Structure 1
Amino acid sequence: MKISLTENDILRHLSFRKLKLNPLKNIILVISIFLTTVLFTSVFTIALSLNKSIEISALRQVGGEADISFKYLTYEAEKKIASNDNKNIKKVGKSIILGLANNSSLIERQCEMRYADDEYAKMSFDYPTKGQMPKEKREIATDTLVLDMLGIPHKLGEKVELEFVDINGNPHEDKFVLCGFWEADKIAPASQIWMSKEYLKGYWSSDNKELNGLRMLSIKTDNKYDSKKIAKEILEEERLQNIDFNTSGAYSEISSTEKINIMLALGGMFFFIILSGYLIISNIYQISIVKEINFYGSLKLIGATSRQIKKLLYVQTVPVAIVGVSLGLIMGYLIGYLLLPPILDSSLGRESLNMSMSPIIFIGSILCTIFTVWISSRKALKVASKVSPINASKYFDSNFVKHKNRKYINISRLSWINLFRHKKRVIMVICSLVMSTVLFESTYLIGNSFDLDKYIETKMVSDYSLSDYCVSSYTRKYEPNNTVTLDMLSQIKAINSNAQISNMYFDIDTVSFDDQDVYDKVIRKNKNSNKEYEEEVEKLISKKIMQAKVYGIDADIINKCAIFSGEFSPKEFEHENYVLAIGYDDDSDYEVIYEIGDKVKIKNSIYTVMGYVDIPDTVLGSIPEESAPLTQGFVMSTNSFMKLHGEPSIYQSFINVSDNKNRKIQKLLNEFQKDNANLDVKSKQTYAREFQMQIFSQTALGYMMSIIVGLIGIMNYINTAASSIISRRHEFVILHSIGMTKRQLKNMLLLENIYIVSLVSIFSIMLSSVLGRTFVKSIIETSWCSSYRFAVWPLFAVLLLYFGISIIMPLLLIKNQEGESIVFRMKQLTDSY
């Protein structure tokens, strides 16, 4: 029986035979492609997942995925907008506000009570995953956080007692039945308690006019960046005026400069990965082709064309690439999955994690790796496909370097000459190792530059701070309370009599301004104010009064803040009528209304502005502004504050203790928190842990890339050095035959490898020093909590590793040839040819 084989069958058979004959080359190539794919996949995974997490987090923070929110609508306006047939409208959701839940156990969370249809609830990310939306009059649905705070099991049909205040400020109390719930979203600004429409009708009146001003509409559009334009179009089409609406703050148009910066950063990163992959894959192919050049010459002799030889090499590459890319995709995605949570910890929080499974991650990584392999193998394939049978038979991997004749040449000189016999290979190895070393050093410099003291200075002015939860809440209005008591402070003193305790007080007052200069400055500061406040601002300006946030703080706390203008005298500040105006040292756009030396009338007392002070936001608290933007903050001594306001409740308490008492104090504060859920405790240790997570998030990707690129470089170096030693066996036999000893041969090879690492060291130190003091330093100086500190030990640690490999690797290869006679090795080489 005659069997006919096609050209493809023969090439495929020959390719797989060649693959089996050179397993070591295949393993190195698989690892190289694997590492390159890992880099691409992890970068794609982190970039796309981070983008998705930021977007979803922003949507959750603004309260939903609606692009347009119409507020305080009448029944007629709601009906018109909801029925509008604008082509850009995708979804419409309706809601009617009832009020806020006011149970004592819900004090830490803003809980809005309202009716909503299914679309509105879904767009708010507050749709029941168990049960359903309320239909019967006394049914409610809410999230698990509200249920936990109320102490109610996560079971449908549970009875729920709610105290609430309606939008007119009237208190109410009623009993409900739980008909649905969902997992709480802690980063959302508020929790929702959905009511039935029947309950709202029964609560007020069946007449829709009673519900005017409480209706809201959420709209999802097909163009999230043009939502403002779409909202105006809808109002114009329906001929509606004076309708208040908001567009989603989750989407903001990126400026052209930011787009260019992002594209440059990503482009630079991908170029770096392609270059690192190219350096090793290209070297592997070149070494492989040189070793097998006689084989390709023989194929040409029997009639193989250049196209067939190229195809033969491509067929050999395909299975190797499939294995490397497949494993790289899995490992790269896993690395991205592991690195993303700590990266998010310092910014959005781990609960914001949204891993992307976009096909772009895998398709992009595959295409980038294929491109890298293609450009890396082009030159080697060209050499193999164009070699002639005659040239192949004469070809040896021995490019001798021309040098001046010398009467005597020593081993070190010979090693240096040998080093440049294959300039391109050596340059590729050096570049590969230098890249990973410089990247590692730069990443370390950035990580080491973070200054814990600077970071904590902007967060804390003491070891511990105690306050009510609402002080740091952006949603709950501050009201004087007794959360922090003198009894608590006395217990702290009992544990540590040397503890320094300073109290802070707060109130919102009004300031009169009669001075024309102050009046002009108020006008100038608020001339471009938000229209939402325009009328209120005009009224206040006409009355020549403004809101003042007044803080009473001890001088020892103020001394730890930045007084960026004026001279601060603690003695005068404590005992005379002086105030400090609150400003921002690093914000040139913020204008303090009062000049130093100006007189300020707060209530009925006159104070003099001593200077400007920049106080950390964590100290001031997150008090919502009552009549923004016409507001000025002032700091006065606690004595002056008490004269003005009597005996106020403690707003915040700052505690400094000796190190050996820290554990006892922390234990006591934990007990206080167990007894009082409204007590908020902050400490330097908390921010120190946050700081460590921030360092990790900033450097994790850099360290990962430098380690992988380092592995690629080391593999490249080992492969090149090992191939050089193996391919020069013919040369070593000749040198032995003319009198070179084994010791001299060993020294020559050791020096060749040490020279390579020495060159790597020189270039690494030069580049790291230049980049460290220019480019890296400029990056570090943009961070407010960083201090540039140049360090060389990471550089020397990596270079020491390279020197170790340069000594051990050649010794192991030489050892394999020891014990064989010159005649035996000559016979082996003759047989191979």
Structure 2
Amino acid sequence: MKEQRQAIHNLWINSFRNNRRRNLFVILALALTTLLITSVIGLGMSFIEASNKQTVQRVGTVADANLNDLTKRQVQLLKKDPSIEIIGTQQTVGAVDSQRLKNKKVQMALHWYSKDEWNGLRKEAINNFTGKFPEKDNELMAPLAALKELGITQPKIGQKISLPCQIDGKMYQKEFVLSGYYKEYVIARVVDFSYVLVSKSFADKYGTAVNSKTYSIKYKDSNNLGKQNKALAKKLKLTEMQEIKTTLRESSQSATSVIIGVGMFLAIILISGGLLIYNVLYISIANDIRFYGLLKALGTTKKQLRKIIFNQSLLLSAVGIPSGLIIGFAISHVLIPVVMKATNFSEAVVVSTRPLIYLGAGLFALLVMLLSSIKPANYAARVSPVSAINFTESKVRKGDVRSRNGGKLYLMAWRNIFRDRKRALVVIISMTLGITSFVAVNSIVKSMDFEKFVLSEMDYDIVISPSYTQFEKDSSESKMLEKQHVSQRLAQLAKENDNITSAKLYFSAPVSVTYDKQKFSNYIRSYNQFFKYSKINEKQIDPNNFNGEVISID
């Protein structure tokens, strides 16, 4: 018995060695299939993760919602809510009142984050963090964009920064020490606003009830945010002056439609790869039917024939599948960053190398390989030795060649292709699905065009505006008219340029308004109801310095 097993083993090993060309094609098919599955799914997963990361960066937080002006009782209820994972707190303490910022028309706030807000909700949305979170009164942390607005292009930890600050209507000249800096992406979208972060001790010292706190929350389950927000608002009994606001609009596309779309695309890839393995293996084993018939004539049993075929399939899988996985892993690390840097994900490059992708691809290829071996293995086990020796893949029916034009080469080729209709159908389906998957991946990558996103957000390419200094604001009317003339001439030149399709002009000028509490109280009340996170405090309004801006639109 032992000698028989050894003989069978030697037989299939020698057969395997003698079919090097066939083995090469089968290994290549396995490697290409696993490469296709790992690279395409890896690319798709990387784009999804990069999109999520970029969304977090643009929003500036991983929080699900914000709440404002909560009472102590509401805060206690919020902390006890079992559906909430993280609660962060933030507060605007004051503003940087710098002439440099006024000239650039940039507002800069002195802001405070609690450690839960920073570590749990904000830190994931930034890059290149250097230093530490501010703890002392005079410590300050800021985004690189904010430091650039202040004229600091090469920040250093421990650097002293002197800032004129307006806190609760009073002016202070504060000297801070830079404790940390980082790259942040929210400021890049809001060009006229920036902020610097102060410590808790600074916020406790200068913050007042007027500077109300905002609470950021992250639910344990981020699905159905609208429903959860409504339930929380009802539980907290929010008033008309309070609001629970999601940090990001929920997608209008249902999760079911996304799953169906991804599932169909994944099915195309898997079927295409499976058919590739099936085709190559079916052809290779069909060519060996005569060999298996001779073995059967020599006394080899059905079970032993099946074992020979399956052992060869396992050995081919042991070589082809790991090769495809290794190449797929290497290509993903090289190709995906290059592809993503060419898109609008250049600041959020993510290479998804989840083990589940490679494990799934390997198991799928192995399963297809074994299933593809069943049909020819069963045929080889059932067929008689005589039939096996005389085996042909398909018989040409006489009626197929009775034609006056039958000798033409293209007709002969056509008949040869469809001699085995099942195999021809499998090959055509395999090629069709392969081309479909290529076109689909190419379309997805091409559709991620930042130009289209920009056009959907704004219909202009550039804004040109004068930068006023305090002296120029107080200058004569003739000086202002001269600036207006320059602006009009600039717009005229833009319209005359053939490369510019349109140029629009508008004027703006600061004005001082006489403050009347009776006239403005209704406006301020409605303003505060709408802009619940940037309310106007009537007590802080200076009647002698109530300024606005007049804007004319063409």
Is TM (by shorter chain) over 0.5? yes
Instruction: Give the 3 Å change call, closer, same or farther, for CA 294–139 of structure 1 in structure 2.
Output: same
Instruction: Give the 3 Å change call, closer, same or farther, for CA 99–289 of structure 1 in structure 2.
Output: same
> What secondary structure does 1:160 align onto?
strand
Contact residue 418 and residue 424 of structure 2 kept, 8 A: yes
- Counterpart residue number, 1:395: 391
- The letter for the 2-side match of 1:160 is I
Structure 1: which 5+ residue stretches go unaligned?
205-209, 471-480, 509-532, 541-624, 628-646, 653-833
Q: Given the alignment of the two structures, is residue 196 of structure 1 paired with residue 199 of structure 2, yes or no? A: yes
Q: Given the alignment of the two structures, is residue 222 of structure 1 paired with residue 230 of structure 2, yes or no? A: no
1:206-264 CA distance string (max 9 Å, x none): xxxx3355222223321122556656666766777567343544473665xx4444344
- The letter for the 1-side match of 2:180 is G
Instruction: Give the 3 Å change call, closer, same or farther, for CA 26–171 of structure 1 in structure 2.
Output: farther
Contact residue 37 and residue 365 of structure 1 kept, 8 A: yes
Equivalent residue for 1:47, pick from 36, 44, 47? 44
Contact residue 488 and residue 505 of structure 2 kept, 8 A: no
Distance 1:170 1:495 in 2: 45
Equivalent residue for 1:57, pick from 54, 58, 64? 54
Distance 1:407 1:79 in 2: 90
Q: Given the alignment of the two structures, is residue 26 of structure 1 paired with residue 26 of structure 2, yes or no? A: no
1:151-206 CA distance string (max 9 Å, x none): 1533211011234444x6666542200112233336676755221222233336xx
- Counterpart residue number, 1:174: 174
- The letter for the 1-side match of 2:244 is N
- Counterpart residue number, 1:355: 351
Q: How does 1:304-703 map to 2 (within 5 A)?
A: 304-333=300-329, 338-339=335-336, 342=339, 349-397=345-393, 399-403=395-399, 410=407, 412=409, 417-433=415-431, 465-468=462-465, 502-505=503-506, 536=526
> What secondary structure does 2:464 align onto?
strand
Q: Given the alignment of the two structures, is residue 151 of structure 1 paired with residue 147 of structure 2, yes or no? A: no
Percent identity reads: 22
Distance 1:417 1:295 in 2: 27
- Counterpart residue number, 2:183: 183
Contact residue 70 and residue 243 of structure 1 kept, 8 A: no
Instruction: Give the 3 Å change call, closer, same or farther, for CA 387–270 of structure 1 in structure 2.
Output: farther
Structure 2: which 5+ residue stretches go unaligned?
468-479, 510-522, 537-548
- Counterpart residue number, 1:519: none
Instruction: Give the 3 Å change call, closer, same or farther, for CA 434–395 of structure 1 in structure 2.
Output: same
Contact residue 89 and residue 114 of structure 2 kept, 8 A: yes
Instruction: Give the 3 Å change call, closer, same or farther, for CA 163–54 of structure 1 in structure 2.
Output: farther
- The letter for the 2-side match of 1:180 is G
Contact residue 60 and residue 188 of structure 1 kept, 8 A: no
Distance 1:90 1:458 in 2: 35
Report how far residue 311 of structure 1 moved.
3.1
Instruction: Give the 3 Å change call, closer, same or farther, for CA 272–11 of structure 1 in structure 2.
Output: farther
- Counterpart residue number, 1:98: 93
Instruction: Give the 3 Å change call, closer, same or farther, for CA 485–343 of structure 1 in structure 2.
Output: farther
RMSD: 5.1
Instruction: Give the 3 Å change call, closer, same or farther, for CA 102–398 of structure 1 in structure 2.
Output: same
> What secondary structure does 2:305 align onto?
helix
- Counterpart residue number, 1:133: 133
Distance 2:494 2:181 in 1: 45
Distance 1:496 1:237 in 2: 57
- The letter for the 2-side match of 1:58 is T
TM-score (normalised: structure 2):
0.71
Instruction: Give the 3 Å change call, closer, same or farther, for CA 416–212 of structure 1 in structure 2.
Output: closer
Instruction: Give the 3 Å change call, closer, same or farther, for CA 77–438 of structure 1 in structure 2.
Output: closer
Instruction: Give the 3 Å change call, closer, same or farther, for CA 406–341 of structure 1 in structure 2.
Output: closer
TM-score (normalised: structure 1):
0.50
Instruction: Give the 3 Å change call, closer, same or farther, for CA 172–302 of structure 1 in structure 2.
Output: farther
Distance 1:386 1:5 in 2: 25
Distance 1:17 1:214 in 2: 82
Report how far residue 98 of structure 1 moved.
1.0
Distance 1:200 1:457 in 2: 41
Contact residue 72 and residue 214 of structure 1 kept, 8 A: yes
